[in-house]
Amino acid sequence: QEDLEALIAEFQSLDAKKTQVIESSCPPPSPRLNGSLSAHPEKDELILFGGEYFNGQKTYLYNELYVYNIRKNSWSKVEIPNPPPRRCAHQAAVVPTAGGQLWVFGGEFASPNGEQFYHYKDLWVLHLATKTWEQIKASGGPSGRSGHRMVACKRQLIVFGGFHESARDYIYYNDVYAFNLDSFTWSKLAPSGIGPSPRSGCQMATTPEGSIIIYGGYSKQRIKKDVDKGTLHTDMFLLEEDKWAWSRLNPSGVKPTPRSGFSVAIGPNNRSLLFGGVHDEEEEESIEGDFFNDMYFYDIGKNRWFPGQLKGPKSEKRKRRRGRDAEAEGARDEEMEKQPSQGPVEIVKEVVAEDGTVMTIKQVISGPAEEKERSESEEEEDGALGQQVEPCPRSNAMLAVKHGVLYVYGGMFEVGDRQFTLSDLYSIDLHKMEEWKVLVEMDPKAQEWLEESESDEEDDDMEGAEGGEEEESSEEESEDEGGEEQHPSVQPDEKHADYLSRTEQYWIKLARSNMGPDAKEKKVVKVAHAMAKTFYEDSV
């Protein structure tokens, strides 16, 4: 703990050397998860703060502030003196006071080796009009924690739940605190009734009347020495604001499937939404996760859940364009549109990273059973392209809603023991629910993964948490020099099938060495073919 406090203090002394606000345009932020993305209350901007990144050996924590300009689709970095220390899994809430304020509470700092954690209990406000950070020192607030939830409600910030982890133990919370935005004082609430059990990572939303809704979350318990059992919560509660009383909600409709690491936002029409997440199959030794990219809405007024399904704009436009001449075709289109009710469509994509690691991305599309069967080649192409434009499944992404448009940034997914941290940005108009737009694509070159080394590189601690950009280019160059050249080259005018039959054994051997001796032969062959295809297409 003392080591971490010393490291945090050292970072703060570096930050203290900044004396003026520097705003500079920049490329999109590097990959990260567990940061906060917030909509500016007055401008068409999104504000990204904090987050973490893990490259297989080292954990990087951030306290950078980025601003995304929605109209220009451009990023700028804003360096402001005396910011909060770097952190992830904090909470941020925006209030419209005095040109806009971004309030930040709690979160965690991790040692570069990811084995020690420091949980913050500090409260900060970013004055958006003057671009100044201010730490608010008020006693009686929540203990240090991360994974908690915080919302702005009337003239208060309400904090619920979260967890604290030390080297030896951990604790999950279900307490509720209120911070008064007029008197700048904390109070611990003692609601009547039976509320949620302790948990982190839940959904927390406000109703128009000022009450609060809690859904889901995650907690774990120690069942015997060194064995923990995780619980995915799926229950739902209402905390009534006028008398601070808990009651249980039993919503109708289609609830989200059990998951953790989902992201939440408030959409238009009095609906809160939930995106993505992961369902872990926990064995005693290992965890296998199914990642999601679906969306669920909770209608606060009707107390009802429903899945967010894409309507797909093309068929509508086409019907209008064709007029009455093609009623038979129109009927066929309608049949196509009804297909989703026959069940979701699963698509499996394979993406090969720079170092030859193959990620298999399963995508379950609950929207229209795309337009693949239609005869017009142009439309067929449109349909196929339309199908690809959506965020890949992920957990711990950052969400914000502005003018009824949802923005999804970053997050992560896992393949085997490898973690892929994302830096892409997508948007979807929640009023229309027609299609996802990709604003920033994921750059496979930004994917760095270092296998765990035997020695602990203690002397790298400082750069470790500093920020992860510098090391990546040299990593990739050495990967390229060592890797790319040795693959069997494609001969002039050689067809893919001929290349594959000539080099198949090489790729199977490479896939086997990547996947280990326990991988099933069928899977190894599939991965080998995907690697060969990717290499062939890159070479042609």
**Rounded Cα–Cα distance for residues 402 and 155 (Å):** 21
Q: How deeply is 478 buried, as exposed, middle or buried, from its count of CB atoms within 10 A (0-12, 13-18, 19+)?
A: exposed
- Rounded to the nearest 10°, the torsion over CA 167, 448, 472, 446 is -120
* One-letter amino acid of 280: D
In a domain, 509, yes or no: yes
Would residue 520 count as lying in a domain? yes
The closest of 55, 48, 54, 57 to 29, measured between CA atoms, is 48
φ, ψ at 326 (rounded to 5°): -120, 50
CA distances from 211 to 79, 192, 204 (A): 36, 14, 11
The two tokens of residue 150 are 């915080």
CB 507 within 8 A of CB 528: yes
Closest of 91, 100, 160, 155 to residue 123, by C-alpha = 91
The length of the chain is 540
Amino acid at 335: E
Cα distance between residue 401 and residue 420, in whole Å = 25
What whole-number distance in Å separates Cα of residue 272 and Cα of residue 430?
11
Model pLDDT for residues 218-275, shown as the tens digit of each residue: 999 888 877 888 899 999 999 998 889 999 999 999 999 999 999 999 999 989 999 9
Task: State how far the Cα of 47 lies from the Cα of 369, in Å rounded to an integer.
Answer: 35
Give the phi and the psi of residue 320 in degrees, each rounded to 5.
-65, -40
Q: What are phi and psi of 11, to 5 degrees?
A: -65, -40
| Contact present, 269 and 263 (Cβ < 8 Å) | no
Residue 194 lies in a domain: no
The answer to whether residue 396 sits within a structural domain is no
Q: Which residues contact 366 (CB under 8 A, 6 or more apart)?
A: 294, 307, 309, 310, 340, 344
Question: What are residue 46's DSSP bridge partners?
Answer: 39, 68
Cβ atoms 236, 215 nearer than 8 A:
yes
Measured CA to CA, the distance from residue 142 to residue 144 in angstroms comes to 7
- With respect to residue 507, please indicate whether it lies within any of the assigned structural domains: yes
- pLDDT tens-digit profile of 352-383? 554 555 555 555 544 443 333 333 344 334 44
What would you measure as the largest C-alpha separation in the chain, in angstroms?
77
φ, ψ for residue 264, nearest 5 deg: -135, 155
Instruction: Return the DSSP state at 395.
Output: B
Distance (Å) of CA 365 to CA 115, 304, 334, 395, 427? 37, 22, 18, 17, 17
Q: Which of 112, 89, 106, 102 has its CA nearest to residue 10?
A: 112
- Residue 246, classed as helix, strand or coil, is strand
**Structurally, how many domains does the chain consist of?**
1
Say if 181 falls within a structural domain: no
- Count Cβ atoms below 10 Å from residue 138 Cβ, excluding itself: 12
Listed residue (288, 426, 427, 447) closest to 358, CA to CA: 447
* Lookup result for tokens 């930040």: 104
Three-state SS string across 317-337, please?
Answer: HHHHHHHHHHHHHHHHHHHHH
Task: Please tell me the number of Cα atoms within 13 Å of 368 on its side-chain side.
Answer: 24
217 in any annotated domain: no
Which residue is it, tokens 């951990």?
170
Q: Which two tokens stand for residue 438?
A: 């990709």
All residues at 6 or more sequence positions from 199 whose CB lies less than 8 Å from its CB, including other chains: 161, 172, 174, 216, 217, 218, 219, 233
Q: Residue 51 in contact with residue 465, Cβ under 8 Å? A: no
- Provide the residue range defining the domain that includes 512: 496-538
Cβ distance 430 to 405 under 8 Å?
yes
Element (DSSP H or E) covering residue 410: strand 405-415
- The list of the chain residues with pLDDT below 70 reads 1-2, 10, 16, 282-287, 313-388, 444-446, 452-486, 514-515
Instruction: Please report where in the chains the tokens 């601070």 appear, as a residue.
Output: 244
Task: Tell how strand 101-105 and strand 91-95 pair up.
Answer: antiparallel
Q: Is residue 29 part of a domain?
A: no
CA separation, residue 443 to residues 117, 267, 344, 423, 473 (Å): 30, 29, 28, 8, 13
Q: For residue 257, give the nearest of 344, 375, 376, 175 by alpha carbon.
A: 344
